[in-house]
Structure 1
Protein backbone atom coordinates (compact mmCIF):
# COMPACT_ATOMS: atom_id res chain seq x y z
CA UNK A 1 0.00 0.00 0.00
CA UNK A 2 1.28 3.45 -0.92
CA UNK A 3 1.66 5.58 2.20
CA UNK A 4 4.08 8.32 1.11
CA UNK A 5 5.58 10.11 -1.88
CA UNK A 6 9.05 11.33 -2.74
CA UNK A 7 9.55 13.89 -5.52
CA UNK A 8 12.60 14.99 -7.43
CA UNK A 9 12.92 18.74 -8.04
CA UNK A 10 15.03 19.73 -11.06
CA UNK A 11 13.55 18.48 -14.32
CA UNK A 12 10.44 17.23 -12.52
CA UNK A 13 8.74 20.11 -10.72
CA UNK A 14 10.35 23.01 -12.57
CA UNK A 15 10.35 21.84 -16.21
CA UNK A 16 7.66 19.17 -16.33
CA UNK A 17 9.97 16.34 -17.37
CA UNK A 18 12.23 18.20 -19.80
CA UNK A 19 15.96 17.89 -19.20
CA UNK A 20 17.40 21.26 -18.22
CA UNK A 21 19.92 21.00 -21.04
CA UNK A 22 17.06 20.94 -23.55
CA UNK A 23 15.30 23.83 -21.83
CA UNK A 24 18.45 25.95 -21.91
CA UNK A 25 19.25 25.06 -25.52
CA UNK A 26 15.79 26.23 -26.57
CA UNK A 27 16.52 29.59 -24.93
CA UNK A 28 19.79 29.87 -26.85
CA UNK A 29 17.96 29.16 -30.11
CA UNK A 30 15.04 31.50 -29.47
CA UNK A 31 17.42 34.30 -28.43
CA UNK A 32 19.36 34.02 -31.72
CA UNK A 33 22.58 33.47 -29.80
CA UNK A 34 24.44 32.08 -32.81
CA UNK A 35 25.81 29.24 -30.67
CA UNK A 36 25.91 25.75 -32.15
CA UNK A 37 24.28 22.92 -30.22
CA UNK A 38 27.58 21.11 -29.88
CA UNK A 39 29.26 24.18 -28.37
CA UNK A 40 26.31 24.72 -26.06
CA UNK A 41 26.51 21.15 -24.80
CA UNK A 42 30.17 21.62 -23.93
CA UNK A 43 29.35 24.86 -22.11
CA UNK A 44 26.48 23.20 -20.25
CA UNK A 45 28.66 20.34 -19.02
CA UNK A 46 31.38 22.79 -17.99
CA UNK A 47 28.92 24.87 -16.00
CA UNK A 48 27.40 21.84 -14.27
CA UNK A 49 30.83 20.58 -13.24
CA UNK A 50 31.82 24.04 -12.02
CA UNK A 51 28.71 24.39 -9.90
CA UNK A 52 29.16 20.87 -8.56
CA UNK A 53 32.69 21.40 -7.26
CA UNK A 54 32.75 25.09 -6.24
CA UNK A 55 30.66 27.18 -3.86
CA UNK A 56 29.29 29.53 -6.51
CA UNK A 57 25.70 29.13 -5.32
CA UNK A 58 25.15 30.49 -1.81
CA UNK A 59 22.48 29.24 0.64
CA UNK A 60 20.40 32.43 0.23
CA UNK A 61 20.32 32.36 -3.58
CA UNK A 62 16.90 32.39 -5.19
CA UNK A 63 16.32 30.29 -8.28
CA UNK A 64 16.49 33.47 -10.37
CA UNK A 65 19.96 34.22 -9.03
CA UNK A 66 21.01 30.56 -9.34
CA UNK A 67 19.95 30.45 -12.98
CA UNK A 68 21.73 33.75 -13.65
CA UNK A 69 24.94 32.30 -12.22
CA UNK A 70 24.61 29.18 -14.38
CA UNK A 71 24.09 31.24 -17.55
CA UNK A 72 27.02 33.50 -16.67
CA UNK A 73 29.33 30.47 -16.41
CA UNK A 74 28.09 29.00 -19.70
CA UNK A 75 28.36 32.27 -21.61
CA UNK A 76 31.73 33.07 -20.04
CA UNK A 77 33.06 29.71 -21.25
CA UNK A 78 31.63 30.27 -24.74
CA UNK A 79 33.23 33.71 -24.93
CA UNK A 80 36.60 32.56 -23.58
CA UNK A 81 36.74 29.68 -26.05
CA UNK A 82 35.69 31.84 -29.00
CA UNK A 83 32.43 29.97 -29.54
CA UNK A 84 30.14 33.01 -29.46
CA UNK A 85 30.32 36.21 -31.43
CA UNK A 86 29.37 38.56 -28.59
CA UNK A 87 31.14 40.19 -25.69
CA UNK A 88 30.70 42.94 -23.12
CA UNK A 89 27.29 44.60 -23.08
CA UNK A 90 26.09 42.43 -25.97
CA UNK A 91 26.75 39.29 -23.94
CA UNK A 92 25.11 40.82 -20.86
CA UNK A 93 22.00 41.68 -22.88
CA UNK A 94 21.80 38.12 -24.21
CA UNK A 95 22.13 36.68 -20.70
CA UNK A 96 19.39 38.91 -19.31
CA UNK A 97 17.04 38.10 -22.19
CA UNK A 98 17.54 34.35 -21.76
CA UNK A 99 17.27 34.61 -17.98
CA UNK A 100 13.92 36.39 -18.09
CA UNK A 101 12.57 34.00 -20.73
CA UNK A 102 13.64 30.94 -18.76
CA UNK A 103 12.44 32.24 -15.42
CA UNK A 104 8.97 33.01 -16.79
CA UNK A 105 8.79 29.47 -18.18
CA UNK A 106 9.83 27.96 -14.85
CA UNK A 107 7.24 30.03 -12.98
CA UNK A 108 4.50 28.74 -15.26
CA UNK A 109 5.60 25.12 -14.89
CA UNK A 110 6.05 25.25 -11.12
CA UNK A 111 2.56 26.68 -10.81
CA UNK A 112 1.25 23.62 -12.65
CA UNK A 113 3.33 21.38 -10.42
CA UNK A 114 2.11 23.14 -7.30
CA UNK A 115 -1.49 22.48 -8.27
CA UNK A 116 -0.76 18.77 -8.80
CA UNK A 117 1.04 18.54 -5.45
CA UNK A 118 -1.80 20.28 -3.66
CA UNK A 119 -4.18 17.57 -4.85
CA UNK A 120 -1.92 14.88 -3.36
CA UNK A 121 -0.96 16.61 -0.12
CA UNK A 122 -4.16 15.77 1.85
CA UNK A 123 -3.67 12.05 1.17
CA UNK A 124 0.08 11.51 1.51
CA UNK A 125 3.08 12.76 3.46
CA UNK A 126 5.59 14.01 0.90
CA UNK A 127 9.36 14.45 0.82
CA UNK A 128 11.64 16.12 -1.71
CA UNK A 129 14.91 14.40 -2.61
CA UNK A 130 17.10 16.52 -4.85
CA UNK A 131 20.61 17.02 -6.13
CA UNK A 132 20.88 20.73 -5.39
CA UNK A 133 23.31 23.40 -4.23
CA UNK A 134 22.30 24.05 -0.61
CA UNK A 135 19.58 26.61 -1.36
CA UNK A 136 16.62 24.39 -2.22
CA UNK A 137 14.59 25.71 0.74
CA UNK A 138 14.83 29.27 -0.62
CA UNK A 139 13.86 28.05 -4.09
CA UNK A 140 10.84 26.11 -2.83
CA UNK A 141 9.57 29.15 -0.94
CA UNK A 142 10.21 31.32 -4.00
CA UNK A 143 7.72 29.24 -5.99
CA UNK A 144 5.22 28.55 -3.21
CA UNK A 145 6.22 24.90 -2.85
CA UNK A 146 7.88 24.92 0.56
CA UNK A 147 4.85 24.16 2.68
CA UNK A 148 3.92 21.12 0.60
CA UNK A 149 6.82 18.93 1.71
CA UNK A 150 7.12 17.36 5.12
CA UNK A 151 10.82 16.69 4.62
CA UNK A 152 13.58 17.83 2.26
CA UNK A 153 16.73 15.81 1.53
CA UNK A 154 19.24 17.87 -0.43
CA UNK A 155 22.49 16.45 -1.76
CA UNK A 156 24.63 19.43 -0.77
CA UNK A 157 23.40 19.12 2.83
CA UNK A 158 23.51 15.33 3.34
CA UNK A 159 26.66 14.70 1.29
CA UNK A 160 25.07 12.04 -0.93
CA UNK A 161 24.14 12.58 -4.56
CA UNK A 162 21.93 10.70 -6.95
CA UNK A 163 22.26 8.14 -8.43
CA UNK A 164 23.38 6.79 -5.03
CA UNK A 165 20.25 4.99 -3.76
CA UNK A 166 21.14 5.92 -0.18
CA UNK A 167 19.74 9.41 -0.75
CA UNK A 168 16.31 7.87 -1.38
CA UNK A 169 16.72 5.73 1.72
CA UNK A 170 17.17 8.97 3.67
CA UNK A 171 13.91 10.23 2.20
CA UNK A 172 12.09 7.04 3.15
CA UNK A 173 13.46 7.21 6.69
CA UNK A 174 12.44 10.86 7.01
CA UNK A 175 8.88 9.86 6.15
CA UNK A 176 9.00 7.11 8.79
CA UNK A 177 7.92 4.47 6.29
CA UNK A 178 9.19 1.28 4.69
CA UNK A 179 10.65 1.50 1.15
CA UNK A 180 7.81 -0.52 -0.41
CA UNK A 181 5.31 1.96 1.05
CA UNK A 182 6.86 4.88 -0.86
CA UNK A 183 6.56 6.00 -4.47
CA UNK A 184 9.38 8.05 -5.97
CA UNK A 185 8.43 10.39 -8.83
CA UNK A 186 11.17 11.78 -11.06
CA UNK A 187 12.14 12.66 -14.61
CA UNK A 188 15.60 11.08 -14.76
CA UNK A 189 15.69 7.38 -15.52
CA UNK A 190 19.27 7.05 -14.31
CA UNK A 191 19.17 9.43 -11.36
CA UNK A 192 15.65 8.78 -10.10
CA UNK A 193 14.08 5.56 -11.36
CA UNK A 194 17.02 3.16 -11.17
CA UNK A 195 18.27 4.18 -7.69
CA UNK A 196 14.72 4.43 -6.31
CA UNK A 197 14.06 0.84 -7.31
CA UNK A 198 17.41 -0.24 -5.86
CA UNK A 199 16.39 1.41 -2.60
CA UNK A 200 13.27 -0.78 -2.59
CA UNK A 201 10.78 1.94 -3.50
CA UNK A 202 8.14 2.03 -6.17
CA UNK A 203 8.90 4.49 -8.97
CA UNK A 204 6.90 6.60 -11.41
CA UNK A 205 8.85 7.93 -14.36
CA UNK A 206 7.87 11.39 -15.57
CA UNK A 207 9.00 10.79 -19.12
CA UNK A 208 9.80 13.93 -21.08
CA UNK A 209 12.46 15.31 -23.40
CA UNK A 210 15.78 13.80 -22.36
CA UNK A 211 19.35 15.02 -22.80
CA UNK A 212 19.91 12.28 -25.38
CA UNK A 213 17.74 10.01 -27.53
CA UNK A 214 18.74 6.97 -25.47
CA UNK A 215 15.89 4.52 -24.87
CA UNK A 216 15.24 2.79 -21.54
CA UNK A 217 13.50 -0.30 -20.24
CA UNK A 218 10.03 0.98 -19.44
CA UNK A 219 9.18 -2.16 -17.50
CA UNK A 220 11.47 -1.07 -14.64
CA UNK A 221 9.32 1.84 -13.40
CA UNK A 222 5.96 0.88 -11.93
CA UNK A 223 4.27 3.49 -14.10
CA UNK A 224 5.18 6.00 -16.80
CA UNK A 225 3.47 9.39 -17.03
CA UNK A 226 3.99 12.50 -19.14
CA UNK A 227 2.40 15.04 -16.78
CA UNK A 228 2.19 15.27 -12.99
CA UNK A 229 -1.56 15.74 -13.27
CA UNK A 230 -1.72 12.03 -14.18
CA UNK A 231 -0.71 11.03 -10.64
CA UNK A 232 -4.14 9.81 -9.67
CA UNK A 233 -5.09 6.90 -7.45
CA UNK A 234 -4.98 4.51 -10.41
CA UNK A 235 -1.29 5.30 -10.93
CA UNK A 236 -0.29 5.39 -7.28
CA UNK A 237 -2.07 2.20 -6.28
CA UNK A 238 -3.20 0.03 -9.17
CA UNK A 239 0.26 -0.06 -10.80
CA UNK A 240 2.27 -0.71 -7.63
CA UNK A 241 2.20 -4.48 -7.82
CA UNK A 242 5.81 -5.14 -8.95
Structure 2
Protein backbone atom coordinates (compact mmCIF):
# COMPACT_ATOMS: atom_id res chain seq x y z
CA UNK A 1 0.00 0.00 0.00
CA UNK A 2 1.31 3.46 -0.97
CA UNK A 3 2.77 5.57 1.82
CA UNK A 4 2.16 9.32 1.67
CA UNK A 5 4.90 11.78 2.61
CA UNK A 6 5.00 15.58 2.84
CA UNK A 7 1.25 15.72 3.46
CA UNK A 8 0.23 18.58 5.76
CA UNK A 9 -3.55 18.58 5.42
CA UNK A 10 -6.48 16.31 4.67
CA UNK A 11 -9.80 17.09 2.99
CA UNK A 12 -12.59 14.69 3.87
CA UNK A 13 -15.81 14.11 1.99
CA UNK A 14 -18.77 13.49 4.30
CA UNK A 15 -21.73 11.66 2.72
CA UNK A 16 -20.80 8.14 1.63
CA UNK A 17 -17.39 8.44 3.28
CA UNK A 18 -17.58 9.29 6.98
CA UNK A 19 -21.20 8.22 7.45
CA UNK A 20 -21.39 4.97 5.41
CA UNK A 21 -17.74 3.84 5.00
CA UNK A 22 -17.95 3.81 1.21
CA UNK A 23 -21.51 2.59 0.66
CA UNK A 24 -23.54 4.81 -1.64
CA UNK A 25 -26.53 6.29 0.16
CA UNK A 26 -28.89 4.90 -2.47
CA UNK A 27 -27.71 1.42 -1.50
CA UNK A 28 -28.14 2.18 2.21
CA UNK A 29 -31.70 3.30 1.61
CA UNK A 30 -32.45 0.36 -0.67
CA UNK A 31 -31.20 -2.04 2.00
CA UNK A 32 -33.68 -0.51 4.43
CA UNK A 33 -36.51 -0.83 1.88
CA UNK A 34 -35.72 -4.54 1.64
CA UNK A 35 -35.58 -4.94 5.43
CA UNK A 36 -39.05 -3.43 5.68
CA UNK A 37 -40.35 -5.53 2.76
CA UNK A 38 -41.59 -2.42 0.96
CA UNK A 39 -43.14 -3.84 -2.23
CA UNK A 40 -41.23 -1.93 -4.93
CA UNK A 41 -38.56 -3.02 -7.37
CA UNK A 42 -35.05 -1.64 -7.21
CA UNK A 43 -35.61 0.07 -10.54
CA UNK A 44 -38.66 1.90 -9.18
CA UNK A 45 -36.77 2.77 -6.03
CA UNK A 46 -34.00 4.31 -8.16
CA UNK A 47 -36.58 6.52 -9.85
CA UNK A 48 -37.85 7.66 -6.44
CA UNK A 49 -34.32 8.27 -5.18
CA UNK A 50 -33.36 10.41 -8.18
CA UNK A 51 -36.64 12.30 -7.92
CA UNK A 52 -35.95 12.99 -4.25
CA UNK A 53 -32.43 14.30 -4.86
CA UNK A 54 -33.66 16.57 -7.66
CA UNK A 55 -36.50 17.85 -5.49
CA UNK A 56 -34.14 18.77 -2.67
CA UNK A 57 -31.75 20.43 -5.12
CA UNK A 58 -34.56 22.72 -6.31
CA UNK A 59 -36.43 23.31 -3.05
CA UNK A 60 -34.94 24.49 0.27
CA UNK A 61 -36.88 21.96 2.35
CA UNK A 62 -33.95 21.20 4.66
CA UNK A 63 -33.21 23.91 7.21
CA UNK A 64 -29.90 24.69 8.99
CA UNK A 65 -31.42 23.42 12.25
CA UNK A 66 -32.21 19.96 10.85
CA UNK A 67 -30.09 17.06 12.07
CA UNK A 68 -29.37 13.96 10.01
CA UNK A 69 -32.50 12.10 11.11
CA UNK A 70 -34.55 15.06 9.86
CA UNK A 71 -32.75 14.89 6.50
CA UNK A 72 -33.44 11.18 6.15
CA UNK A 73 -37.09 11.60 7.12
CA UNK A 74 -37.61 14.34 4.53
CA UNK A 75 -35.93 12.21 1.85
CA UNK A 76 -37.99 9.14 2.74
CA UNK A 77 -41.26 11.10 2.65
CA UNK A 78 -40.47 12.48 -0.81
CA UNK A 79 -39.59 9.01 -2.09
CA UNK A 80 -42.68 7.29 -0.70
CA UNK A 81 -44.99 10.07 -1.92
CA UNK A 82 -43.47 9.80 -5.39
CA UNK A 83 -43.88 6.02 -5.49
CA UNK A 84 -47.55 6.32 -4.49
CA UNK A 85 -48.27 9.15 -6.93
CA UNK A 86 -46.69 7.19 -9.79
CA UNK A 87 -48.69 4.08 -8.94
CA UNK A 88 -45.51 2.18 -8.12
CA UNK A 89 -46.37 1.53 -4.47
CA UNK A 90 -49.77 0.25 -3.36
CA UNK A 91 -51.32 2.01 -0.37
CA UNK A 92 -51.70 -0.22 2.69
CA UNK A 93 -52.01 0.07 6.46
CA UNK A 94 -48.20 0.21 6.59
CA UNK A 95 -47.64 2.95 4.01
CA UNK A 96 -47.86 5.89 6.42
CA UNK A 97 -45.23 4.33 8.68
CA UNK A 98 -42.65 3.76 5.94
CA UNK A 99 -40.89 7.18 6.03
CA UNK A 100 -40.23 7.04 9.78
CA UNK A 101 -39.13 3.40 9.64
CA UNK A 102 -36.78 4.11 6.74
CA UNK A 103 -35.32 7.16 8.46
CA UNK A 104 -34.86 5.42 11.80
CA UNK A 105 -33.05 2.41 10.34
CA UNK A 106 -30.79 4.49 8.13
CA UNK A 107 -30.00 6.93 10.96
CA UNK A 108 -29.05 4.08 13.28
CA UNK A 109 -26.80 2.65 10.57
CA UNK A 110 -25.11 6.03 9.98
CA UNK A 111 -24.66 6.65 13.69
CA UNK A 112 -22.89 3.31 14.14
CA UNK A 113 -20.58 3.96 11.17
CA UNK A 114 -19.82 7.51 12.31
CA UNK A 115 -18.84 6.23 15.74
CA UNK A 116 -16.15 4.15 14.04
CA UNK A 117 -15.17 6.99 11.70
CA UNK A 118 -14.85 9.36 14.64
CA UNK A 119 -11.88 7.41 15.96
CA UNK A 120 -10.11 7.72 12.59
CA UNK A 121 -10.87 11.43 12.20
CA UNK A 122 -9.73 12.32 15.72
CA UNK A 123 -6.56 10.26 15.33
CA UNK A 124 -5.63 12.02 12.09
CA UNK A 125 -6.50 15.43 13.55
CA UNK A 126 -3.60 15.01 15.98
CA UNK A 127 -1.09 15.17 13.11
CA UNK A 128 -2.88 16.94 10.25
CA UNK A 129 -5.10 19.92 9.62
CA UNK A 130 -8.52 18.65 8.55
CA UNK A 131 -11.15 20.32 6.36
CA UNK A 132 -14.46 18.84 5.28
CA UNK A 133 -15.81 19.45 1.76
CA UNK A 134 -19.35 18.28 1.09
CA UNK A 135 -22.28 18.61 -1.26
CA UNK A 136 -24.96 19.20 1.36
CA UNK A 137 -28.16 21.06 2.10
CA UNK A 138 -27.08 23.95 4.35
CA UNK A 139 -27.16 21.99 7.61
CA UNK A 140 -23.89 20.06 7.58
CA UNK A 141 -22.62 21.87 10.69
CA UNK A 142 -25.68 20.68 12.61
CA UNK A 143 -25.13 17.13 11.37
CA UNK A 144 -21.45 17.17 12.32
CA UNK A 145 -22.23 18.65 15.73
CA UNK A 146 -24.90 16.01 16.33
CA UNK A 147 -22.38 13.25 15.60
CA UNK A 148 -19.51 14.82 17.59
CA UNK A 149 -17.42 15.53 14.50
CA UNK A 150 -17.50 19.30 14.12
CA UNK A 151 -14.65 20.12 16.51
CA UNK A 152 -12.21 17.94 14.53
CA UNK A 153 -12.33 20.10 11.41
CA UNK A 154 -10.50 23.39 10.95
CA UNK A 155 -13.17 24.46 8.48
CA UNK A 156 -16.23 23.12 6.64
CA UNK A 157 -16.89 23.85 2.97
CA UNK A 158 -20.53 23.12 2.14
CA UNK A 159 -21.91 23.43 -1.40
CA UNK A 160 -25.19 25.06 -0.34
CA UNK A 161 -23.26 27.76 1.51
CA UNK A 162 -20.38 28.52 -0.89
CA UNK A 163 -22.41 28.14 -4.09
CA UNK A 164 -20.06 25.59 -5.68
CA UNK A 165 -20.85 21.88 -5.99
CA UNK A 166 -18.80 18.82 -6.73
CA UNK A 167 -17.64 17.78 -9.27
CA UNK A 168 -16.42 21.36 -9.77
CA UNK A 169 -12.72 21.28 -8.76
CA UNK A 170 -13.13 24.81 -7.37
CA UNK A 171 -14.75 23.46 -4.23
CA UNK A 172 -11.59 21.50 -3.45
CA UNK A 173 -9.47 24.57 -4.17
CA UNK A 174 -11.55 26.34 -1.51
CA UNK A 175 -10.73 23.49 0.86
CA UNK A 176 -7.01 23.80 0.18
CA UNK A 177 -7.23 27.55 0.80
CA UNK A 178 -8.88 26.92 4.17
CA UNK A 179 -6.07 24.53 5.09
CA UNK A 180 -3.55 27.28 4.35
CA UNK A 181 -1.21 24.96 2.44
CA UNK A 182 -0.49 23.99 -1.17
CA UNK A 183 -2.58 21.52 -3.16
CA UNK A 184 0.35 19.09 -3.48
CA UNK A 185 0.56 19.02 0.32
CA UNK A 186 -3.09 17.98 0.55
CA UNK A 187 -4.78 14.61 0.25
CA UNK A 188 -8.51 14.25 -0.47
CA UNK A 189 -10.46 11.26 0.81
CA UNK A 190 -13.82 10.42 -0.72
CA UNK A 191 -16.07 7.61 -1.88
CA UNK A 192 -17.17 9.04 -5.23
CA UNK A 193 -14.83 8.56 -8.16
CA UNK A 194 -16.52 11.24 -10.29
CA UNK A 195 -17.34 13.79 -7.56
CA UNK A 196 -14.30 13.41 -5.29
CA UNK A 197 -11.35 11.74 -6.99
CA UNK A 198 -11.45 13.29 -10.47
CA UNK A 199 -12.03 16.92 -9.40
CA UNK A 200 -9.57 16.68 -6.50
CA UNK A 201 -6.87 15.46 -8.87
CA UNK A 202 -7.76 18.30 -11.24
CA UNK A 203 -7.29 20.72 -8.33
CA UNK A 204 -3.77 19.34 -7.83
CA UNK A 205 -4.40 17.29 -4.69
CA UNK A 206 -3.38 13.74 -3.87
CA UNK A 207 -6.35 11.39 -3.62
CA UNK A 208 -7.40 8.34 -1.65
CA UNK A 209 -10.49 6.60 -2.95
CA UNK A 210 -12.69 4.84 -0.41
CA UNK A 211 -13.95 2.24 -2.82
CA UNK A 212 -17.15 0.66 -1.58
CA UNK A 213 -20.58 -0.27 -2.82
CA UNK A 214 -21.11 2.38 -5.50
CA UNK A 215 -24.04 3.09 -7.75
CA UNK A 216 -22.91 2.23 -11.24
CA UNK A 217 -20.57 5.10 -12.19
CA UNK A 218 -17.62 4.51 -14.54
CA UNK A 219 -14.32 4.30 -12.66
CA UNK A 220 -10.60 3.78 -13.24
CA UNK A 221 -8.45 2.31 -10.48
CA UNK A 222 -5.31 3.91 -11.95
CA UNK A 223 -6.48 7.47 -11.24
CA UNK A 224 -6.40 7.71 -7.41
CA UNK A 225 -3.06 7.69 -5.61
CA UNK A 226 -4.36 4.98 -3.30
CA UNK A 227 -7.48 2.87 -2.83
CA UNK A 228 -8.89 1.73 0.49
CA UNK A 229 -11.95 -0.32 1.32
CA UNK A 230 -12.34 0.73 4.95
CA UNK A 231 -11.78 4.15 6.51
CA UNK A 232 -9.66 2.65 9.30
CA UNK A 233 -6.97 1.85 6.71
CA UNK A 234 -6.15 5.57 6.63
CA UNK A 235 -4.33 5.29 9.95
CA UNK A 236 -1.66 2.98 8.47
CA UNK A 237 -1.65 4.81 5.13
CA UNK A 238 -1.09 8.27 6.57
- Please state which band the TM-score falls in when normalised by the shorter chain: over 0.9
- State how 1:133-144 maps to structure 2 within 5 Å: 133-144=137-148
Cα distance in 1 between the residues matched to 2:80 and 2:153: 34
**2:211 is aligned with 1:173:** no
Cα distance in 2 between the residues matched to 1:232 and 1:72: 38
Shift, 1:232, TM fit? 2.7
How many pairs does the alignment contain? 233
Q: Using structure 1 for the length normalisation, give the TM-score.
A: 0.94
Q: Using structure 2 for the length normalisation, give the TM-score.
A: 0.96
2:112 alignment partner in structure 1: 108
CA deviations on 1:66-112 (whole Å, 9 max, x unpaired) are 1100000000000111111125x622212222221111101000001
Cα distance in 2 between the residues matched to 1:215 and 1:173: 30
Q: 2:73, 2:102 within 8 Å by CA — same for their partners in 1?
A: no
What SS class does the counterpart of residue 232 from structure 1 fall into?
Answer: helix
1:182 alignment partner in structure 2: 186
Cα distance in 2 between the residues matched to 1:12 and 1:143: 14
Instruction: Find 1:7's aligned residue among 4, 7, 12.
Output: 12
Q: Unaligned regions of 5+ residues in structure 1, if any?
A: 237-242
Cα distance in 1 between the residues matched to 2:182 and 2:126: 20
Cα distance in 2 between the residues matched to 1:91 and 1:124: 47
2:99 alignment partner in structure 1: 95
CA deviations on 1:33-64 (whole Å, 9 max, x unpaired) are 01111100000000000001110101111111
Cα distance in 2 between the residues matched to 1:205 and 1:138: 26
Runs of 4+ more than 2 Å apart = none
1:121 alignment partner in structure 2: 125
